[in-house]
A and B are shown apart, each in its own frame.
Chain A
């Protein structure tokens, strides 16, 4: 009987502790908001506009602001292209594990993109492509052992990348290729760094299937 009471108390205590922690976390955060300006910055970073709107943040952000404008001219999808290509190459070599880690890398790269560097008129389109791409990258990462599924996600990523290239151009010369069979015969696009056809959707089963549709010269 003593055990019973003790256990109930223990369980209740555990819950109270958890909920109290949450409350105090919230408190901490809100006190950071008002008192500690530099802390507040790191907290609100993923949340774009907050930093600009926050009162009293004048010293450090000025420095950041200049770098942002410098980057605006230079905004490039090159890191995304690089990660896409290594993902694509992993699937060319039928390597689901390498594809998974390439997917993880791509996700990290997409999460690191400095959104402030993207020209305002392209911001919305970029966000839609990136949000969708993140999900595909995540799924590729989670699907070791199901290479077919990883390839389905690559096909949608390819379409996203196509739109990204149209929006922002590419610094690296790329070949836009078409695989007529994938996606139930509806076909799928992929990009490669070389002209030689190496099909990522079927790998060794149909390595040379597909054709170059377009050469996109890097600028």
Chain B
């Protein structure tokens, strides 16, 4: 009984949503020319946690899941935020591009806890190659 009450009670406390209508000037798409196929993969598999605009599923309103999600997004954006990529120093950009490539190569990103629900975020072998190739070329091009 007590638990049920708490569960109902916490539904009234929703975390702030990570959503924005405009693409900021510091977004990676604005700073660099991102090929369309790369952009599609990034939007599908990365932007939910690594940008200022999450596309939320309906169940994201259900607590305590919403807090869990908000925490994830917060952590994700601290590590890497594509919406703020243009604010990073050249060094940090290179370093992030290399890290992204490594994470994808090792299959650590997207997180398995995320792809468990977001099946369409799973990267195919081809997706991985496209991303790693682009990240690598970008890393070499930024001086």
Contact = CB atoms under 8 A, between A and B. Distances in A.
Contact of B9 (A8, A149, A183): A8
Contact of A132 (B1, B2, B10, B92): B92
Interface in A188-217: none
Chain B binding surface SS class: helix
Category for how many chain B residues contact A = 10 to 19
Interface of B: 1-2, 5-6, 9-10, 13, 89-92, 95, 98-99, 102, 106
Nearest to A15: B13
Contacts of B89: 128, 131-132
Interface residues of A, number: 19
Contacts, number: 40
Contact of B1 (A3, A128, A135, A160): A3
B9 A132 contact: no
Interface of A: 3-4, 7-8, 11-12, 15, 128-129, 131-132, 135-136, 148-149, 152, 156, 160, 183
B91 A132 contact: yes
B2 A7 contact: yes
Contacts of B5: 3-4, 7-8
Contacts of A148: 106
